[in-house]
Amino acid sequence: MLGVARRRLGSGCVLGQLMQALRPAAAAAARTYSAAAKEMTVREALNSALDEEMSADPSVFLMGEEVGEYQGAYKISKGLLDKYGPDRVLDTPITEAGFTGIGVGAAYQGLRPVVEFMTFNFSMQAIDHIINSAAKSNYMSAGQINVPIVFRGPNGAAAGVGAQHSQCYAAWYAHVPGLKVLTPYSAEDARGLLKAAIRDPDPVVFLENELLYGESFPVSAEVLDSSFCLPIGKAKIEREGKDVTLTAFSKMVGYALQAAEILSKEGISAEVINLRSIRPLDRATINASVRKTNRLVTLEEGFPQHGVGAEICMSVVEDSFEYLDAPVERIAGADVPMPYAANLERMAVPQVEDIVRAAKRACYRAVPMAATA
């Protein structure tokens, strides 16, 4: 990696010196993921996507805290230091502003950095580089500067980590022109979207979920092929239905699928849309579904005000208002900092039963409050 940077930038450049200083000292254990598996965890999917893209393109490199010797805080980069060496898998100091700035500068020069945040809550230390440098440079240079960089790491609530480590940044970064924001749910999503993000000429914010890393999903031979890549900006219909549309992303897709199964036993056919991409947002798929089901429930972990659900609701009001047979229902996290107490934490994030109740209200199947008095 350093050799590539020197050839592009000159051996005496600041970037080259900083990258040299950040070299880790030892190799990691061998990678254990097997591409022959018929099921794959999200962790394995991310690892294999990184591996294949680094193998295919020598300008791709990974940097972040503990990505090398420790093999990643969540073992996403397991085996990559051993395979590609310290020039392309760089352990950094605990300074998000510093290494994110280095990454953006490398992208200016044609390299393809993948910057890992141990949690996206720490990206706030680097948000100036992400928004004012990475997102705006292409526009401000009249298209002369591309910034092919990926910012990735776990996003949203985990468990028992308090208010400062539990935020969802989907709406934060989706607000910014110049950024693309991706939110994988399954192993297929993780593998195909990360490959697309690394190959994209623009900066991509790639929001993973810590609680999904160990989840296994069935994958096809097509997904396992090294050429597999998913289009950015295209949602996936995870389950077809005719009575109500449920939109979700990341971990909440699983909750929506559970709710849809419960609803099916009560005669309600729910269509579940896995958004995959928050910016650009697949408005066409959302509106086509609403025009079929005539009802909409949006689901997200983040705060409700100015959230992803609010944007989806406005899109439907603008394009499909006359098709709605009921008010749009929005399920989101509570409008409070995340509590630390486990019982309060559960109340602050959406649960499957919340989705079921909202879908029933949209279908006019909820028990009126007066009837329960």
Hey, which residues are catalytic here? 96, 165
Answer yes or no: is pLDDT of 23 > 80.
Answer: no
Which runs of consecutive H residues, i.e. helices, occur in the chain? 2-9, 14-21, 42-56, 80-84, 96-108, 127-128, 137-140, 170-174, 187-199, 221-224, 251-264, 283-293, 308-320, 342-348, 352-362, 369-372
Whole-prediction pTM: 0.87
Q: Percentage of residues in the chain with pLDDT exceeding 70?
A: 88
What pLDDT score does 159 carry?
A: 84
User: What phi and psi values does residue 91 have, to the nearest 5 degrees?
Assistant: -75, 130
Give bridge partners of residue 299 from the DSSP assignment: 331
Tens-digit pLDDT profile for residues 136-180: 999 999 999 999 999 999 999 888 888 888 999 999 999 999 999
Which of 151, 30, 148, 18 lies closest to 87, judged by CA? 18
**Do 236-363 and 39-224 fall under one CATH topology?**
yes
Residue 3 neighbours by CB under 8 Å, 6+ apart: 87
Distance from C-alpha of 217 to C-alpha of 89, rounded to nearest angstrom? 28
Domain boundaries, the chain: 39-224, 236-363
Closest to 245 measured CA to CA, from 170, 353, 354, 355: 355
> Highest mean pLDDT: which of 18-27, 120-129, 158-167?
120-129
Fold of the domain spanning 236-363: Rossmann fold (3.40.50)
pLDDT at 8: 42
Whether the pLDDT of residue 123 is over 70: the answer is yes
Query: Helix crossing, 2-9 with 14-21: angle to 10°?
Result: 170
CATH second-level architecture of 39-224?
Answer: 3-Layer(aba) Sandwich (3.40)
Residue 345 pLDDT > 70: yes
What is the average pLDDT across 335-353? 94
- Tens digits of residue pLDDT in 246-291: 999 999 999 999 999 999 999 999 999 999 999 999 999 999 999 9
The predicted pLDDT at position 158 comes to: 84
pLDDT band at 75 (very low <50, low <70, confident <90, very high): very high
